[in-house]
A and B are shown apart, each in its own frame.
Chain A
Amino acid sequence: MTGIAVLDTLKVVTDTLSHTAAKSGDSGWIMHHVMDGKTIDFAPFGEFHVPQLPIIFGIDITPTKHVFFMWLAAIILIAVMTFVARSYKKSLIPKKFANFFEIIIVFVRDEIAKPTIGNSYEKFTPYLLSVFFFILFGNFLGLLPYSSTFTSNIGITATLAVFTFVMTQFGGIRQNGFFHYWKGLIPHGIPVWLLPLMIPVEFLGLLTKPFALAIRLFANMLAGHTVILALIGLIFFMKTIFVAPVSVGFALFIYLLEILVALVQAYVFTMLSSLFIGMAVHQDH
């Protein structure tokens, strides 16, 4: 892990050098590093410009840096899980690698889906597993050098949150029936004159859940990277080598913290998704 951290740091340093050379004194290089773009940097080996695709209905569908890393994460995830699934064909008791993933899968199933959703958890387990591993792999992929954290993009986290929102409504309507579900959103025993107030409040409450999901994941993943970059940037900002041990030390600490955050955020997103689905499915609780 520390090796990766040093490599990441090195990459950041070279990145920083090229940018500070261009325009010293501003923080644009941090933004450049954490933000999406149409070029994938492999400094000092050059960079890859994504070919521009035609604009359809006013939407630029050119796959950006984050899209590429999203695909990479998805491909790795599919490859890993295919391997894990295949190892069950040989024996019902998996070996080391598959066993490791089995622990996580069983955790998501038994500790996240089962207690929050209850009886019909089996219908939502595939979705929860997918979203958990997708975020987890994305978070960890973002910690590798030369990569970019696609989970620190608000557009992507918002889309994931919308998926959870759709799953929540879908689960609730399927379980309770269309009208009964919408009626069930408003708590029982509310006086009629309060309804004009309660309906917008409950409706807003429905929307704030995925909004919070999106912001939480985005902000958490962005913050760690930004802090690491800022700490490294301190060396160049102060133009002295003596601050380097402090910067690198702190950056390393934040990096280790990031490993924890990567895990925790994937867990939190999945846990809350599961909780929202559970709340929609069992409205009376």
Chain B
Amino acid sequence: MFLGMIYSILAVEPEASGSLLDINPGLIIWTAITFIALIIILKKVAWKPILEALDQREGAIRESLEKAEKAKDEAQKVLDQNQANLNKAEEESRKIIEQSRSYAEKLKEQMLLETKQQSRKLLEDATAEIERKKDEAFNELKNQIAEIAINAAEKILNENLNKETQKKIVDKYIGEITKN
């Protein structure tokens, strides 16, 4: 009924060759032929190459993006590694410095100790030497005294003296020794 209404509105007088809703079979044939040919030709000359080119380009873009992502990851990895290496090197150098410092400290202390010991030994040695020399001198002195006493005794014996004279002489010598 709706169609009929449209038809009655659009219908015009017979000499205008029918109405707008008239379907011309020849036209349908031409349309079908044209459209099929158009689809076939366009598919061959246009859609296939264009869509392929688009796919190719999209593939290339995707690939390059992925590549860039990968390269970025790799660079990040290298950077991290470098950072780690740097940290390790720093740590190592710090350790070395620490070690050498402690070693130096130890060495210093040791040297100091050694020097002290050496000086003490020197001092002791010197003291001992002095003591020895003193003893030696004392012994020599004692010997000399004994010699002198023997000499004196000889003289006394030789001179043949009395008690008083003997005493005087002994006192005199003893006084001489103490004076010495």
Secondary structure class of chain B's binding surface, majority of residues: helix
Instruction: Report if A130-B39 is in contact (Cβ < 8 Å); known contacts: A61-B29, A159-B32.
Output: yes
Whether the Cβ atoms of B42 and A129 lie closer than 8 Å is yes
Whether the Cβ atoms of A70 and B54 lie closer than 8 Å is no
Most buried by A among B16, B20, B27, B31: B27
Q: B47 contacts the other chain (Cβ, under 8 Å)?
A: yes
Q: B150 contacts the other chain (Cβ, under 8 Å)?
A: no
Whether the Cβ atoms of A36 and B27 lie closer than 8 Å is yes
Whether the Cβ atoms of B20 and A222 lie closer than 8 Å is yes
Instruction: Report if A34-B20 is in contact (Cβ < 8 Å); known contacts: A28-B13, A163-B35.
Output: yes
Q: Which of B15, B30, B38, B50 contacts A77 (CB 8 A)?
A: B38
Q: B108 contacts the other chain (Cβ, under 8 Å)?
A: no
Q: Which of A31, A64, A106, A126 contacts B27 (CB 8 A)?
A: A64
Q: Which of A32, A71, A158 contacts B34 (CB 8 A)?
A: A71
Contacts of A81 in B (CB 8 A): 42, 45-47, 50
B 33-53 to A, binary, CB cutoff 8 A, 1 in contact else 0: 011011101110111111101
How many residues of chain A get a CB closer than 8 Å to chain B's CBs? 51
Q: Which bracket fits the contact residues of B?
A: 35 or more
Whether the Cβ atoms of A93 and B30 lie closer than 8 Å is no
A-B contact count (CB 8 A): 129
Interface residues of A (CB under 8 A from B): 26-28, 31-32, 34-37, 59-64, 66-67, 70-71, 74, 77-78, 81-82, 84-85, 88-89, 92-93, 102, 105-106, 109, 122, 125-127, 129-130, 133-134, 153-156, 158-160, 163, 222
Apart from the given pairs A64-B30, A78-B41, A78-B45, 17 other A-B contacts in the complex at a CB distance below 8 Å:
A28-B13, A36-B24, A70-B30, A74-B34, A77-B38, A81-B46, A85-B50, A89-B49, A93-B57, A102-B50, A105-B54, A109-B51, A125-B51, A130-B38, A130-B43, A160-B31, A222-B20
